[in-house]
Amino acid sequence: MFNIYNLILEQNSNINSLDNILIIIKINTMLKKLSKTDVIMLFLAFSTLILSEIMWFNGETDGALFLGLWVPSILAFAIYLKLIKIDNK
């Protein structure tokens, strides 16, 4: 019974490692499609979200809510820039 359990664990770890490799490959192909503008806008949105959460947990709830509302606006502007770029091609 112990050997069967080890065999099952070994097979599952191989499957998990294969899944992890496939996920990494998919992420790499997705990241190659991002332009510099996309990376900058995603960084701005993510950093604004993090700053908003830091402010929230420090007790500055009004400022945190104000900054938190910037995130969808930044992402919407990024989508707008992407659409303009596609339209110009």
In the chain, where the domains are located: 1-32, 34-89
Contact predicate 64/55, CB 8 Å:
yes
What is the CB-side half-sphere exposure of residue 33 using CA atoms within 13 A?
A: 7
Per-residue pLDDT reduced to its tens digit, 11-59: 555 556 677 677 778 877 887 888 898 989 999 999 999 999 999 999 9
Residue 60 DSSP symbol: -
Tokens of 87: 């339209």
Burial of 27 (0-12, 13-18, 19+ CB in 10 A): exposed
Per-residue pLDDT reduced to its tens digit, 64-84: 999 999 999 999 999 999 999
Residue 59 DSSP symbol: T
